Amino acid sequence: MSIVTFADIEAAATRIAGHAVRTPLVESPALNARLSARVLLKPETLQHAGAFKFRGAMNRISQLSDAERARGVVACSSGNHAQGVALVARMLGAPAVIVMPADAPAMKVANTRGYGAEVVHYDRYTEDREAITHGIAEARGMTIVWPFDDADIVAGQGTVGLELVAQAAEVEAKLDVVLTPVGGGGLAAGVSTAVKHLQPGAQVYGVEPSAFDDTARSMVSGARETIDPAARSICDALQSPSPGAITFPINQRMLDGVLTVTDAQVAEAIRYAYATLKLVVEPGGVVGLAALLAGELDVSGQTVGIVLSGGNIDPTLFSRILAGEL
């Protein structure tokens, strides 16, 4: 029995209704023609704080007691979970502390502070963010809101899949394939749980950077693999060191496979999204599109849903990518 059920995702949808944006589906004739498929894009770039993370944060924090909210929340994140938690905390009147890597995109740090959160920096390559987060929680009596390894977070992220299937039906489409980014696995676990319940015949694939292929390798080995500390990628949102203890068993059962993409393929997808789709997508958010544009999965003749999970790209990096420097 999964720790996160479809009923949990439905409950999360009810809980976040009126707070989260029901992001639209976007369809491009040019993209359809290029892939010989019908492609429905779910741009969570248009979600509050610019990423899907708002959903899980709202589902988790809204269930805290008044006393817990008064003491506040602490989270660790490279940026999107940070912003989601910071915004939800402000909306619900809770203090927030966010543990962020020192090399997190400046825009994500600025936005997190702009939502009223205190930011504590650490070195992602030499320090343990979970230990730092635990220390703050114990010292200040705060509740930890983990970025992916939490059932309420997974259920909240699953509302993306719930909406995706419903909105596809609204345009008379039935999904054959769904692609979603994979970092720690919370989004993939939630989306796959929702999609597989509503459309059991659909295939769901996770996509991650080739340098951070811990989930792909874990699916092969059957155990939670880790990433080489020397690994680097422009996909800052997908740099979890290993799959989650909660999320991996779900993804192991629900995903039909995990694809990987290079930074060069990601950069090309960012350029394509901007020039052709008129969407600004961050590296970690565009990996599903990158996989299809690179021919990593043949979807010709099928109806495909792609989750574009976030749009918080650093302006300097975005400029370099558009200029073809990456």
Decide: 258 and 219 in contact? Cβ < 8 Å: yes
Catalytic annotation present for 108: no
In contact, 179 and 292? CB cutoff 8 Å: yes
Residues 260-288 as b or e (16 or more Cβ within 10 Å = b)? bbebebbbbbbbbbbeebebbbbbbbbbb
Among the listed residues 78, 218, 242, 309, the single catalytic one is 309
Instruction: Give the residue from 266, 294, 296 showing the smallest Cα distance to 282.
Output: 266
- Per annotation, catalytic residue among 53, 78, 196, 242: 53
What tokens does 146 get? Answer: 């983990």
Amino acid at 180: T
Active site residue 309: yes
CA–CA distance, 48 with 104 (Å, rounded to integer): 19
**Helix, strand, coil percentages, rounded to 5, for the chain:** 50, 15, 35
List residues with catalytic annotation: 53, 309
